[in-house]
Amino acid sequence: MAALNMAALGGAGAGASGSMPMPPIDASKFPLPLPEWLVGNPLFTAGFGLGAMGAAMSLLSRGAAVAEVVFRRQVLMSLEIPSKDYAYQWVMQWMVANRIHGSRHLGVETTYSKDAAGRQTAAFDFIPSPGRHWVRWRGNFILVDRARETKTVDMSTGAPWETLTLTALSIRPNVFQDILAEAKQAALEREEGMTIIYQCYGHEWRPFGNPKRIRPFDSVVLDSGVSNHVFDDIQDFLQSHKWYLDRGIPYRRGYLLHGPPGCGKSSFVSALAGRLGYNICVLNLGDPSMTDDRLAHMLAVVPPRCLVLLEDVDFAVGQQTPADPSGPYAGVTRVSFSGLLNALDGVIATEERVVFMTTNHFHALPRALVRPGRVDLSIYIGLASRSQLKMMYLRFFPGQEDLSETFATVCEDEGLSMAELQGYFMFFKNKPEEAVANIKEWLDERRKVHEEQLQKLREAEAAKSGKAQFEHSWKMEACRRQC
Ligand SMILES: Nc1ncnc2c1ncn2[C@@H]1O[C@H](COP(=O)(O)OP(=O)(O)OP(=O)(O)O)[C@@H](O)[C@H]1O
């Protein structure tokens, strides 16, 4: 077809350049006898010559295309990495580290961090924008094509699908394995000493913010022995995969941390994850877009080496159906209580996971939720005990054993949460004596505030019951009149 077109063009061209003298054709060289008037016609000879050139060029271009295919197949090799794959982000960062060549189209990724003095600094990383880029790596030139799908998007995130295609000469067959290994190693090093917090976006887990520095295990001060008890339990679980499999027991473990607010439930999960070298997937049952199906799905696709943290698990209690209009959280939550039970330990529940649940309302939890299989270990994390008061004081003011005793004696029966204590100590950085000297006054003030809050609550309750009583008597009166 291309050849025909060229010939046709050639003919037209010949017409246009008809004034150029063309050499006469030797009629004896044609396989078929041509009439004399045609052989001597300059238009015919010019068209014939151009047609032959067109055919030759078409052959050449076909040959080049075939040669390219052969070259690509034999000499080049390529690797496709879809954006859904873990390696995608690793390779993007690898490109940043290895500098991108040959492109003026770069994107910027800004990261904020704080130095030791609390100053905020911003760092810019140039990432490859969609298009072709060259990366020089260990003497090899790698062509990277970042292609963005324009017609379809990832329904779970709304982001367009993307693919990275790496192309390299195949003289080094392991080049891609080496690149992936290096990119993965660099990613692991970046994450070392860090905890990644994952949140769900649509139907997948994505890192939330920058990785956080690991919280030291002993920075969460619990009553004596509690931290180590949980740590030993989870260590034992993580080493018992085969034991569970051999006995046909689903390989999963559930922990429930309960107690008043601000006593360290979430902080403890974070410190525990850091000590185990795990990351955390946070699930929020109060998320209005969370449904029973989505909850089950998210628990099924938890990334490796992650603890799942289900905060305020009492949120789903009382919710009969996902959209129960009479449920206590009507219009707020969509996860039904039975949906939660099934996701944790029902037919659809998946294996291989560690779930931490937290609640401030342990007594509101039905037994179906706290039974073994869903909750295997339940731990009370309460208000500051004497030993916690002392330890917390010593964390802020190391070496002040005597003062820590005095401090603990004053606060012992006050029902302080660790969060309150932390807030108090922040006022007295490096002033251990002042922290002790001011504590009585602070406690008096705190009692006064609590008393005021309690009074307001009582008044609100009284107003509510008064209104209810009035409504009740009004209805009774209406009923009596009707009768
Ligand atoms: N036991 C503790 N040891 C050290 N710090 C603590 C402890 N408990 C709480 N804190 C501090 O108090 C703050 C709140 O703690 P955290 O969120 O872990 O409490 P929580 O029990 O999960 O509260 P809530 O039930 O309201 O979610 C954090 O800044 C944390 O550092």
Question: The domain that contains 288 carries what CATH number?
Answer: 3.40.50.300
Q: Is the pLDDT of residue 393 over 60?
A: yes
Name which of 76, 77, 188, 179 is nearest 135 in CA terms. 179
In a domain, 198, yes or no: no
Q: Same structural domain for residues 244 and 120? A: no
Name the residue with the closest Cα to ligand 1, atom 27: 261
Contacts of 395 (CB under 8 A, 6+ apart): 219, 221
Q: Is the pLDDT of residue 281 over 90?
A: yes
Identity of residue 281: C
Q: How far is the CA of 420 from the centre of ligand 1 (A)?
A: 9
Weakest mean pLDDT among 145-154, 160-169, 322-331, 425-434:
322-331
Q: Same structural domain for residues 176 and 218? A: no
Name the residue with the closest Cα to ligand 1, atom 4: 220
- Report the domain count for the chain: 5
Judge if the beta carbon of residue 355 lies within 6 A of ligand 1: no
Q: Is the pLDDT of residue 440 over 90?
A: yes
Judge if the beta carbon of residue 220 lies within 6 A of ligand 1: yes
Q: How far is the CA of 386 from the centre of ligand 1 (A)?
A: 17
- CA–CA distance, 249 with 115 (Å, rounded to integer): 47
Q: Is the pLDDT of residue 291 over 50?
A: yes
Q: Is the pLDDT of residue 454 over 80?
A: yes
Domain of 40? 2-74
Q: What atom of ligand 1 comes closest to residue 222's alpha carbon?
A: 1
More confident residue, 69 or 102: 69
Q: Which helix (H) or strand (E) holds 15?
A: helix 2-16
Judge if the beta carbon of residue 425 lies within 6 A of ligand 1: no
| Percent of the chain topping pLDDT 90 | 41
DSSP-based three-state secondary structure for 194: strand
Residues 6-47: tens digit of each pLDDT: 333 333 333 434 445 555 556 566 555 667 776 677 777 777
More confident residue, 429 or 171: 429
Q: Same structural domain for residues 258 and 358? A: yes
- pLDDT confidence tier of residue 206, bands split at 50, 70 and 90: confident
Concatenated DSSP letters of 213-280: EPPPGGGS--STTHHHHHHHHHHHHHT-HHHHHHTT--SEEEEEEESSTTSSHHHHHHHHHHHHT-EE
Q: Same structural domain for residues 250 and 327? A: yes
Residues 63-85: tens digit of each pLDDT: 988 888 877 777 788 899 988 78
Judge if the beta carbon of residue 416 lies within 6 A of ligand 1: no
Q: What is the mean pLDDT of the chain?
A: 82
Instruction: Return the best residue to mutate from 215, 267, 379 for the ligand 1 pocket (most ligand atoms within 8 A of CB).
Output: 267
Q: How far is the CA of 267 from the centre of ligand 1 (A)?
A: 5
348 Rama sector, left if φ>0, alpha if ψ -120 to 50, beta otherwise: alpha
Q: Same structural domain for residues 222 and 345? A: yes
Distance from chain centroid for Cα 42: 74
Whether the ipTM is more than 0.95: the answer is: yes
Q: Same structural domain for residues 13 and 44? A: yes
In a domain, 122, yes or no: yes
HSE toward the beta carbon, residue 47, CA cutoff 13 A = 15
Q: What atom of ligand 1 comes closest to residue 267's alpha carbon?
A: 18
Taking residues 51-62, report their average pLDDT: 89
Q: Is the pLDDT of residue 333 over 60?
A: no
Q: What atom of ligand 1 comes closest to residue 359's alpha carbon?
A: 25
Judge if the beta carbon of residue 360 lies within 6 A of ligand 1: yes
Residue 214 phi, psi dihedral angles, 5° rounding: -55, 135
HSE toward the beta carbon, residue 138, CA cutoff 13 A = 10
Judge if the beta carbon of residue 374 lies within 6 A of ligand 1: no
Buried-state track 384-421, b at ≥16 Cβ within 10 A, e below 16: beeebbbbbbbebbeebeebbeebbeebeebebbbebb
| Percent of the chain topping pLDDT 70 | 76
Taking residues 185-196, report their average pLDDT: 86
- CA–CA distance, 164 with 78 (Å, rounded to integer): 10
Q: Same structural domain for residues 348 and 453? A: no
Distance from chain centroid for Cα 90: 14
In a domain, 204, yes or no: no
Q: Same structural domain for residues 259 and 281? A: yes
Identity of residue 473: S
Predicted local confidence at residue 433, as pLDDT:
96
